[in-house]
Structure 1
Amino acid sequence: MTGVLERRLGTFDAVVVGLSAMVGAGVFAVFAPAAGAAGRWLLAALALAAVVAYCNATSSARLAALYPESGGTYVYGRRRLGPFWGYLAGWGFVTGKTASCAAMALTFGTYAAPALARPLAVGAVVALTTLNLYGVRRSATAARITVAVVLTVLATVATTAFLAPPAATPASAPASTVWGVLQGAGLLFFAFAGYARIATMGEEVREPARTIPRAIGVALGITLAVYLLVGLAALAVLGPARLAASAAPLVDVVEAAGAGGLGPVVRVGAAVAALGALLALILGVSRTAFAMARERDLPGALDAVHPVRRVPHRAELAVGAAVIALVLVADLRGAIGFSSFGVLVYYAIANASALTLNAGEGAPPRIVPVAGLVLCLVLAATLPWASVAAGVAVFAVGAGVWGWRHRGAT
């Protein structure tokens, strides 16, 4: 049954959905590889990632207010740049974020019980897909719980670190280069990228022209403040060298601060964060798949809304099945790298779309989408070569599929 989604979410719910995606599992792991790349300039990389996130969020918010529909940049690209660019954005989002779903599921399994990581990851995908099928209101309620737990754990880590005696910084910190700072920013941006979840739910938000920009701004501001505190705490207690070498950075922070008993609490927080991120990711990917099916850029069978629960149930089931398939075969690092490439390309198209807005349509200052477009492409180029190669190959396949489907068009 084709239909219209119900507008149930207010500003608070939209902020919570965005926070559950941004303040997710990434914050428990991303500072270690980012410190390995940026060294002592970790906070500079964090600032650069925040600038990119701000540009992307501003462009996305202006576009979402103008086009409050499910699909995010897939819709904006189609409306502002043409069907091909919208399709390419949607293709990148669906494929990249499906890989990100698998990464979050595996992160949950690894923290909960490493020996059972894959079975637990599959169980998490099944459970959260079922939750989404019962309606976005229930999903938003679960997001509130996960956000509250994760923010409490992160506040505890930061407080413990700042109250601990200063640690001696090792003499041999990782070397810093401009390329390293860019790569660190690209890695840190992966943990910021959840605000798209608010825009992709445009058809389920009340008063979208007011709610979406406000929710994106508030969620991004809270996330930046949290990440800044956590980054400062990790550097203060571990220093850049120990931070770069850590497999579980925030567990090591509390242990180095003399509060080893908090280690299990941090691990539970990481598992809950992974579940919260996975919940929001499945929600966002299914809405983009639904929007693409509505335009027949994905199989039309996915263009269906449940007659009672008013959710895109077929798209959600398809996304859940694809994530389970990836969980069974995926490499965690490869999934994260490919997802980062796809997300950065997705936002590059969002910024290019925002460049076409005029003043009457709420265009942001021109420097914002220009900087966002350039920085997204630059950060994408700094990712590991295997991730870049895989990303280019998948986008080439997507472009080939588009060309084949439209081979008879004039």
Structure 2
Amino acid sequence: MTQLARRLRTPDAVIIGLGSMIGAGVFAAFPPAARAVEPTGVGVALLVALALAAVVAYCNATSSAQLAAQYPTSGGTYVYGRERLGEWWGYLAGWGFVVGKTASCAAMALTFGAYAAPPGWERPVAVAAVVALAAVNYRGVTRTARAAQWIVTVVLLALAVTVAVALGGAQPDLGAVWGGSGEAAGAGGFLGGPAGWYGVLQAAGLLFFAFAGYARIATMGEEVVEPRTTIPRAIVGALGGTVVVYAVVAVTLLAVLGLSGIGATTTPLAAAVEGTPWAGVVVRVGASAAALGALLALVAGVGRTSLAMAREGDLPRWLSAVHPRFSVPHHAEVALAAVVCVLVATVDLRGAIGFSSFGVLLYYAVANAAAWTQTGEHRLYPRWVQGLGLVACLVLVATLPLVAVVAGIAVFAVGLTIRAARLHRSPR
């Protein structure tokens, strides 16, 4: 058997997308984003960054949907780039996705360990989570969709309780949402002038990390029923639901903690309900479930992109094997789980998030460029949307923290060198 089975319908795909996005952003992205915009002195800067990230995500989502409708096969932008722009561009996208999302897997596993494990046991518990969820994916994508549905339900209930307790148990300051000290903003114009806008763009790049789960849907083109209609609906539905959740949480955190309070903690939702012990337990359970949901979807998505690259010889052919019973790329998923376990044992959460943002933004830059070239019946959205997405991705990449940019450039240079050496040895 060389083809994956078509089993997923729109509700299943939406749930998988929600599980990918909500898990990352609510519990991981707000503190570093708040620190990036803190020099502006106004809470609205965080909301502006969130809005920019959502706009970029929408552009990328529609490009992915338009491409997936024409090329309903596993591999996502790796396939789209090869078909529309050439093999090298496809490889660039595939490499960015695999290395960036592998870092995301490590970030989500570490997040789960931080919330679910007792002190000193965070990394062993994180490794155990990777192994367990790789086993779930190994047994088939329908089990993945079913598990993701339960996880998203738990997360949304936990967030609803957290927001209600935070706003009801304290005296929220809505002025902190729209204002702040005012000094930084007034010193250089809206949001503090060019320096303030640089911080907003950096925060948008970090928050974009939270929206990137719709790539999981696009890489499942070979497994959804009626992909031309199912994939676009699922991407837009999952993204829209995620934006609403993030906006509510952001406003709540700003009203209760303020901009500096969000940036001063690594667990802002727990800080927002401090003083209500049972709500703190809810936050811990919700955070653990959110991290598991994101990790569950990420393992499957990276495995299928690795499958597509291996089919073309851009990764070892051994990774292209599809399980004869469960119809999943089992070699790719086993290899990914092994690499993620090593990363969990050796890297920190902040470094994993920064590097992941770099790889994923470049991945979507290629997606927008590929969608720009589509014509005729394959064009579902205006071309200016893809142009905006391409420019925005490159801008956000350039404004990420310097360490992430330098590390990203180095890893991409290694990947391109590997392919060039392989082609030199065995030219096609």
TM-score by length of 1: 0.96
Question: Do the aligned partners of 1:24 and 1:277 also contact (CA within 8 Å) in 2?
Answer: yes
Q: Deviations over 1:71-105 (max 9, x none)?
A: 10000000000011101100111111111101111
The within-5 A match list for 1:295-306 is 295-306=312-323
The whole-number CA distance in structure 1 between the counterparts of 2:208 and 2:128 is 28
Say if 2:83 is the partner of 1:79: yes
Match in the other structure for 2:246? 227
2:62 to 52, 58, 61: 58
Amino acid at match of 1:239: G
The whole-number CA distance in structure 1 between the counterparts of 2:50 and 2:165 is 22
Amino acid at match of 1:46: L
Q: Deviations over 1:121-142 (max 9, x none)?
A: 1100110001111111111110
Q: What SS is found at the alignment partner of 2:258?
A: helix
Match in the other structure for 1:279? 296
1:249 to 264, 268, 278: 268
Question: Do the aligned partners of 1:173 and 1:241 also contact (CA within 8 Å) in 2?
Answer: no
Report the CA distance between 1:205 and its aligned residue. Answer: 0.4
The whole-number CA distance in structure 2 between the counterparts of 1:387 and 1:37 is 14
Question: Do the aligned partners of 1:172 and 1:241 also contact (CA within 8 Å) in 2?
Answer: no
Amino acid at match of 1:271: S
Report the CA distance between 1:174 and its aligned residue. Answer: 9.8
Match in the other structure for 1:237? 256
Unaligned 5+ residue runs, structure 1? Answer: none
Question: Do the aligned partners of 2:355 and 2:407 also contact (CA within 8 Å) in 1?
Answer: yes
Q: What SS is found at the alignment partner of 1:115?
A: coil
Match in the other structure for 2:3? 4
Q: 1:333 to 1:166 in 2, by over 3 A?
A: closer
Report the CA distance between 1:360 and its aligned residue. Answer: 2.1
The whole-number CA distance in structure 2 between the counterparts of 1:318 and 1:366 is 38
Say if 2:341 is the partner of 1:324: yes
Report the CA distance between 1:162 and its aligned residue. Answer: 3.4
Question: Do the aligned partners of 1:97 and 1:339 also contact (CA within 8 Å) in 2?
Answer: yes
Amino acid at match of 1:354: A
1:307 to 302, 321, 324: 324
The whole-number CA distance in structure 1 between the counterparts of 2:403 and 2:340 is 21
1:360 to 356, 368, 377: 377
Q: What SS is found at the alignment partner of 1:69?
A: coil
Report the CA distance between 1:202 and its aligned residue. Answer: 0.8
Q: Deviations over 1:127-183 (max 9, x none)?
A: 000111111111111000110000111111222233342348596589550001001
Q: Deviations over 1:55-83 (max 9, x none)?
A: 00000000011101101000000000001
Q: What SS is found at the alignment partner of 2:200?
A: helix
Say if 2:361 is the partner of 1:344: yes
Report the CA distance between 1:364 and its aligned residue. Answer: 2.0
1:203 to 219, 222, 244: 222
Match in the other structure for 1:372? 389
Question: Do the aligned partners of 2:165 and 2:279 also contact (CA within 8 Å) in 1?
Answer: no
Match in the other structure for 2:150? 145
Amino acid at match of 1:243: I
Question: Do the aligned partners of 1:357 and 1:363 also contact (CA within 8 Å) in 2?
Answer: no
Question: Do the aligned partners of 1:161 and 1:236 also contact (CA within 8 Å) in 2?
Answer: no
Amino acid at match of 1:308: R
Question: Do the aligned partners of 2:219 and 2:305 also contact (CA within 8 Å) in 1?
Answer: yes
Say if 2:120 is the partner of 1:115: yes
Q: What SS is found at the alignment partner of 2:83?
A: helix
Match in the other structure for 2:283? 266
1:165 to 160, 164, 171: 171
The whole-number CA distance in structure 2 between the counterparts of 1:62 and 1:238 is 40
Question: Do the aligned partners of 1:36 and 1:241 also contact (CA within 8 Å) in 2?
Answer: yes
Match in the other structure for 2:188? none
Say if 2:135 is the partner of 1:130: yes
Q: What SS is found at the alignment partner of 2:382?
A: coil
The whole-number CA distance in structure 2 between the counterparts of 1:116 and 1:173 is 43
Report the CA distance between 1:260 and its aligned residue. Answer: 4.2
Report the CA distance between 1:236 and its aligned residue. Answer: 0.9
Report the CA distance between 1:253 and its aligned residue. Answer: 1.1
Q: Deviations over 1:249-302 (max 9, x none)?
A: 0011122xx534301210111011111110000000000000111111111111
Q: 1:34 to 1:173 in 2, by over 3 A?
A: farther
Q: Deviations over 1:182-212 (max 9, x none)?
A: 0110111111110000010110100000000
Percent of pairs identical after alignment?
62
Amino acid at match of 2:53: A
> Structure 1 stretch 377-386 or stretch 340-349: which is displaced more?
377-386
Report the CA distance between 1:38 and its aligned residue. Answer: 2.0
Q: Moved runs in structure 1, 4+ residues, more than 6 A?
A: none
Match in the other structure for 2:187? none
Unaligned 5+ residue runs, structure 2? Answer: 185-190
Q: What SS is found at the alignment partner of 1:310?
A: coil
Amino acid at match of 1:156: V
Say if 2:180 is the partner of 1:181: no
> Structure 1 stretch 79-88 or stretch 21-30: which is displaced more?
21-30
Match in the other structure for 2:97? 93
Number of corresponding residues: 407
TM-score by length of 2: 0.92
